[in-house]
């Protein structure tokens, strides 16, 4: 499996120069190659692992526990207007 | 060339739990922006999701209602994409192992039969926030109150062959969801949203390439959008072109759709298991408890109305359309048990007709089931005729008075005193000697003329049965 570094970078919204892509590509492919060793293990009759820990899913009852903390939660946002987050235009 | 249309539908239904899927924030609609958020649904680093079991139970209940398999172990995954209304950068959803699989819904067909539409799966996921662009220059505004609200995505098989079948399926599903009380199912509020996958091919050949239509928020627009898309694809192919797999946005104002190509480019969701949530395990006992709490569904209700109350199939169908209407009917019958058919007639024809004129729903009816029953009692005991009762109901729509008070105040009590009725009849006979002679000479049809005159003279208050009977006797001479 060959990784398309430019595509991965685009999906992750990370800007890469050609030099960086050239440097990262072989490194990422090395990692993939390492993990691919797992494919050689015979897993016939082995249940797929849904989660590494066999723990019960914590469950919540349907009761509102959070109150309005808008002011403090928005204090780290770069820009706010009338309680709304302001971001660069996203519609096509 | 003949073309066959193939349609599959994905419906996103907002679950009507009080809190979000993975945090204790309220899901209330229409509140001040960003007042119902917390570090979990804002995607702050290090925050852990905890599943709202109410959402899981309602999804399982929906699965049981469509005769599906409920996976006692299902798991959660991350669907990764960038958009400002998705603060985590991924949506928690279920990919390879959803809670519900392999169900179906039987929809009515035009020829009066039924068609089975397969439902591939229902998986649990979370809603995104809301972006606003209108009237803004170079920026968008984000409200994250909706971020993390539980959704079920109901995915059908590509089993529908026309826009009409798609609408029939959606209406059936919408009614089911409402009866189950698992969602507000209000389309204008975005609680029931539909994406349609549409392709065309020639019968006997493999399915064509499909286009996905998004942004469909009313039954009317869904039908329009599908019909537009079918014509677009057929024309494209017949002109030698090719349908490309893409997402198209339907513009209900222009009545046309346009491609959202840039979205295609990013269509690589890189699903992987959600490490923050262990698998969802449901025991057989839990599942049976959910099944035991299943409310009566529209089809069962319709049949019971026919057998228990002797309603016509048509009335039974009308009165089982919504849960609210069915409960109103049952409360009405409880208050006026003597005549369920009269209850059905007055509710389905008279009250619903008046509500429709006012653009109202049964839940906003100014006349309660108790007040309507009070009116029906007065018809039953011959205090007023059915005709007068309609006027009384008109008055009840406008005032809080009960039927008795209106009948009393307007002096509408029916005249059933034979002396008083005879007096009116004699007066009419004296005033119309020619017609009396005609009737006695064999013109039986003139009876109707006399009934009309007597009713008119009594201002509609004479008991019509008695008028008929006394007229026939007195006219004999």
User: Are the beta carbons of B24 and A63 separated by less than 8 Å?
Assistant: yes
In a domain, A28, yes or no: yes
B155 and B205 part of one domain: yes
In a domain, B439, yes or no: yes
Specify the number of domains making up chain B: 3
Supply the pLDDT for residue B267: 66
B307 and B266 part of one domain: no
**What is the spatial distance between Cα A27 and Cα A20, in angstroms, rounded to a whole number?**
11
Structure tokens at A90: 């996203």
Q: Which domain holds residue B51?
A: 4-286
pLDDT, tens only, A11-57: 888 999 999 999 999 999 999 999 999 889 999 988 877 788 888 89
Residue identified by tokens 């959704």 is: B151
Give chain B's residues under pLDDT 70. Answer: 261-267
Supply the pLDDT for residue B262: 55
Supply the pLDDT for residue B265: 57
Domain boundary residue among B264, B286, B308? Answer: B286
Give chain A's contact residues with B (Cβ, < 8 Å): 7, 11, 13, 50-66, 68-70, 73-74, 81-92
User: Are the beta carbons of B38 and A66 separated by less than 8 Å?
Assistant: yes
Residues of A in contact with B273 (CB under 8 A): 50-51
In a domain, A11, yes or no: yes
In a domain, B43, yes or no: yes
User: Are the beta carbons of B51 and A59 separated by less than 8 Å?
Assistant: yes
Structure tokens at A64: 């509102």
Specify the number of domains making up chain A: 1
Residue among A54, A58, A62, A72 with most chain B CBs within 10 A, to mutate: A62
CA distance B373 to chain A (A): 38
A69: closest chain B residue by CA:
B35
CB pairs under 8 A between A and B: 128
Please, which residues bridge with residue B160 across strands? B7
User: Are the beta carbons of B50 and A60 separated by less than 8 Å?
Assistant: yes
Supply the pLDDT for residue B375: 93
Supply the pLDDT for residue B468: 87
The candidate with the shortest Cα–Cα distance to B398, out of B361, B356, B358, is: B358
Q: Are B469 and B396 in contact (CB under 8 A)?
A: no
Residues of B in contact with A73 (CB under 8 A): 34, 37-39, 42
Supply the pLDDT for residue B329: 96
Q: Are B59 and B121 in contact (CB under 8 A)?
A: no
Residue among B140, B258, B273 with most chain A CBs within 10 A, to mutate: B140
Supply the pLDDT for residue B264: 53
B99 and B82 part of one domain: yes
A81 contacts: CB under 8 Å, gap ≥ 6: B141
Q: Which of B139, B144, B263 sits opposite A88 (nearest CB)?
A: B139
B150 and B112 part of one domain: yes
In a domain, A25, yes or no: yes
CA distance B402 to chain A (A): 41
| Rg value, chain A, Cα | 22
B325 and B212 part of one domain: no
The candidate with the shortest Cα–Cα distance to A66, out of B25, B108, B1, is: B25
Supply the pLDDT for residue B112: 82
Residues of A in contact with B266 (CB under 8 A): 11
CA distance B204 to chain A (A): 38
pTM: 0.83
In a domain, A33, yes or no: yes
In a domain, B154, yes or no: yes
B398 and B449 part of one domain: no
User: Are the beta carbons of B53 and A70 separated by less than 8 Å?
Assistant: no
**What is the spatial distance between Cα B435 and Cα B437, in angstroms, rounded to a whole number?**
5
Residues of B in contact with A60 (CB under 8 A): 19, 24, 50-53
Q: Which domain holds residue A20?
A: 5-39
Q: Are B409 and B391 in contact (CB under 8 A)?
A: no
**What is the spatial distance between Cα B172 and Cα B371, in angstroms, rounded to a whole number?**
32
B58: closest chain A residue by CA:
A62
Residue identified by tokens 């699903």 is: B271
């Amino acid at each position: 499996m060959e990784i398309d570094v430019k595509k991965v970078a685009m999906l992750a919204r990370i800007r890469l120069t050609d030099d960086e892509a050239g440097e990262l590509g072989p490194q990422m492919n090395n990692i993939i190659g390492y993990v691919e060793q797992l494919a050689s293990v015979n897993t016939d009759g082995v249940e797929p692992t849904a989660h590494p820990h066999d723990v019960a899913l914590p469950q919540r009852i349907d009761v509102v526990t959070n109150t309005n903390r808008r002011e403090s939660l928005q204090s780290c946002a770069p820009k706010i207007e009338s309680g709304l987050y302001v971001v660069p235009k996203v519609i096509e | 060339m003949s073309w066959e249309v193939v349609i599959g539908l994905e419906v996103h239904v907002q679950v009507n739990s009080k809190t979000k899927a993975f945090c204790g924030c309220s899901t209330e609609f229409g509140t001040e922006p960003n007042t119902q958020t917390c570090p979990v649904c804002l995607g702050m680093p290090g925050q852990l999701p905890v599943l709202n079991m109410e959402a899981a139970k309602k999804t399982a209940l929906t699965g049981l209602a469509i005769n599906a398999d409920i996976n006692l172990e299902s798991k959660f995954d991350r669907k990764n994409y960038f958009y400002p209304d998705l603060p985590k950068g991924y949506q928690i959803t279920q990919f390879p192992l959803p809670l519900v699989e392999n169900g179906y819904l039987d929809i009515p067909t035009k020829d009066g039969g039924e068609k089975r539409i397969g439902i591939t799966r229902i998986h649990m996921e979370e809603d995104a926030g809301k972006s606003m662009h209108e009237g803004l220059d170079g920026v968008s505004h984000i409200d994250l109150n909706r971020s993390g609200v539980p959704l079920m995505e109901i995915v059908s098989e590509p089993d529908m062959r026309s826009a009409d079948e798609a609408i029939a399926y959606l209406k059936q599903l919408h009614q089911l969801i409402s009866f189950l009380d698992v969602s507000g199912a209000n389309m204008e509020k975005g609680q029931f949203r539909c994406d349609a996958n549409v392709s065309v091919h020639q019968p006997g050949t493999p399915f064509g390439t499909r286009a996905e239509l998004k942004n469909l928020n009313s039954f009317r627009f869904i039908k329009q959008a599908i019909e537009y898309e079918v014509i677009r694809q057929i024309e494209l192919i017949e002109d030698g072109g090719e349908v490309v797999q893409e997402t198209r946005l339907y513009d209900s104002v222009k009545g046309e759709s346009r491609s959202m190509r840039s979205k295609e480019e990013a269509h690589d969701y890189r699903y992987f298991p959600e490490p923050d949530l262990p698998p969802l395990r449901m025991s057989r006992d839990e599942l049976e408890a959910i099944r035991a709490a299943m409310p009566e569904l529209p089809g069962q209700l319709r049949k019971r109305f026919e057998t228990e109350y002797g309603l016509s199939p048509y009335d039974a169908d009308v009165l089982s359309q919504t849960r609210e209407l069915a409960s109103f009917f049952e409360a009405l019958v409880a208050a006026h048990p003597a005549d369920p058919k009269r209850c059905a007639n007055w509710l389905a024809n008279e009250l619903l007709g008046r509500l429709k004129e006012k653009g109202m729903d049964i839940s906003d009816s100014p006349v309660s089931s108790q007040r309507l029953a009070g009116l029906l009692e007065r018809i039953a005991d011959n205090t007023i005729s059915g005709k007068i009762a309609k006027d009384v109901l008109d008055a009840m729509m406008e005032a809080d008075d009960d039927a008795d008070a209106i009948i009393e105040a307007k002096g509408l009590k029916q005249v059933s005193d034979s002396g008083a009725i005879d007096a009116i009849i004699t007066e009419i006979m004296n005033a119309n000697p020619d017609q009396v002679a005609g009737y006695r000479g064999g013109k039986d049809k003139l009876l109707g003329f006399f009934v009309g005159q007597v009713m008119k003279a009594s201002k509609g208050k004479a008991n019509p049965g008695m008028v008929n009977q006394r007229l026939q006797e007195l006219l004999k001479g």
